[in-house]
Amino acid sequence: MAAYITPPIDTTFLIVGAGTIGLSTALHLTDRGYKNITVIDREVVPSPYSAGNDLNKIVRADYEDHFYAGLALEAIRAWSSPFWSPCYQQTGYAITTSADAPQKARAHINDVISSISSHPDYPKGSIVLTPDSASICKFVPQLGPIPGWSGYFNKHAGYARAALALKKVYSELVRRGVTFKFGERGEADEILPSADSTSPRIHTKSGLIYTSDVVIIALGAHTTKLLPSAAAQLTAKAWAVGHVQVTPNEAAELQGMPVVNCRDLGFLFEPDFDTGLIKLCANGGGYTNYINAGSRSGGEMMKISIPLSAQESHSGIPLDDERLLRRLLAETLPQFKDRPLVKQFICWCSDTRDSEYIIDYVPGWNNLILAGGDSGHAFKMFPIFGKWVVDVLEKGQQTIDRWKWKNTDTSEHAGDISWRTGSVKDIQQVERALSGKDGTLQSSMTAKAKF
């Protein structure tokens, strides 16, 4: 077998998807000297279809697995560098369970504490156990009663200003000469074979067809619409997000508040500097949206989960999650428990059964790489994720077994995630509270709908 030759600097690259992974990949390609890079997406950065288009994302190295903890520590160092630091706030991170949390949530916290305590690179003194409400409030004095809560506090964590980071990287890539195509010219709808039947061409909604030496699919939760063969490994799932608007005086009182994550309820952040919005997200098993996607080779109908449209995703959150967020507010910031939940949406991620990323060549194609499987924990890796994609490209193979393409069908086990509580539900089977035109929540009694 001939030795693999690293692609020459004049290799042409097409990245399908201008979200977190796509932008990170483009950034690391330019870092290594590659010049001919085109990135396509249906919307401009930050796209409403990108999970990274958000006020903020948790940045933490709290993992049961030393492998990911080490990578996240590297990412935190990158977030603290001059380029990334304007988008990073190291506020600290309180991870807890409520009084009636399920055992799975409590066990996860204990496993994480054990992992962090034995990790050789974790900064000493970062973790402090908080066995009761009073000890939690020593680190997060802004909190309300939090009755029966317990957990730990991590000083070496915080959050990223997510949409701001996407825009910053996009601007830097434009400065470096990366080409971007948006709209119908950037909306990929089919992978076509070339004359050799194995080299991919990307067909777009406009009819324009892209050819490139290397094609990288970085579409997040939308991957399986373009690449159905990945559906055995990837499941599009969503979680509910809402916001509370506070006044400048109220925001000042909460400035510097650590991220608070109650594993069985949800998590929240300090108010955004620019908008005064407090972001809240409900924890749980997530929501799928299964559709029929043709027949398998044996004649059995294949179903894949795909995201709702951006408009549908922003039209309201499930009523069960509304109740979770209301309880989260009542127990943490009770002064806001009756405030309208504004700017609600469900955020779509691409889950794998084991929460492992997939960064590998796609079988049956030449020079087609899939970079995905974010599993809800990729944004923290934004500064470094693209490095792993370029490593695969330059080595000619994925050498990290856990990130390889897997031929085993894991889609039937899409809900089996060790660190999540709650069960997976299909979004078509749940009731959602509709948003009003101003983004506020209409009465749940009169604005119920099934989608």
Strand partners, 320: none
3-state secondary structure of 336: helix
The total number of structural domains that make up the chain: 1
pTM for this entry: 0.93
pLDDT category, 197, cuts 50, 70, 90? confident
CB-CB contact of 284 with 239 (8 Å): yes
**Host domain of residue 370:** 1-56+161-234+352-420
pLDDT in tens, 14-39: 999 999 999 999 999 999 999 999 99
Residue 43: inside a domain, yes or no? Answer: yes
Residue 166: inside a domain, yes or no? Answer: yes
pLDDT category, 355, cuts 50, 70, 90? very high
pLDDT in tens, 58-101: 999 999 999 999 999 999 999 999 999 999 999 999 999 999 99
Residue 307: inside a domain, yes or no? Answer: no
At residue 29, φ and ψ (nearest 5 deg) are: -60, -45
153: left (phi over 0), alpha (psi -120 to 50) or beta: beta
Closest CA to 415 of 341, 355, 327, 371: 355
Residue 404: inside a domain, yes or no? Answer: yes
> Taking 90 as the threshold, does the pLDDT of residue 412 lie above it?
no
Provide the pLDDT for residue 196. 80
What value does the mean pLDDT take over residues 125-136? 97
Residue 6: inside a domain, yes or no? Answer: yes
Residue 135: inside a domain, yes or no? Answer: no
Strand ranges, E, within 373-410? none
Q: Please give the share of the chain, as a percent, with pLDDT higher than 90.
A: 86
Provide the pLDDT for residue 33. 98
**CATH at residue 403:** 3.50.50.60
pLDDT in tens, 254-266: 999 999 999 999 9
Residue 3: inside a domain, yes or no? Answer: yes
Rounded Cα distance, 108 and 117, in Å: 14
Task: Report CA-CA distances (Å) from 201 to 178, 214, 233.
Answer: 19, 10, 23
For the CA atoms of 101, 73, 416, 423, what is the dihedral angle to 10 degrees? 40
Mean pLDDT is highest, among 168-177, 188-197, 289-298, 303-312, for 168-177
User: Which range, of 37-51, 207-221, 301-315, 322-336, averages the lowest pLDDT?
Assistant: 301-315
Residue 333: inside a domain, yes or no? Answer: no
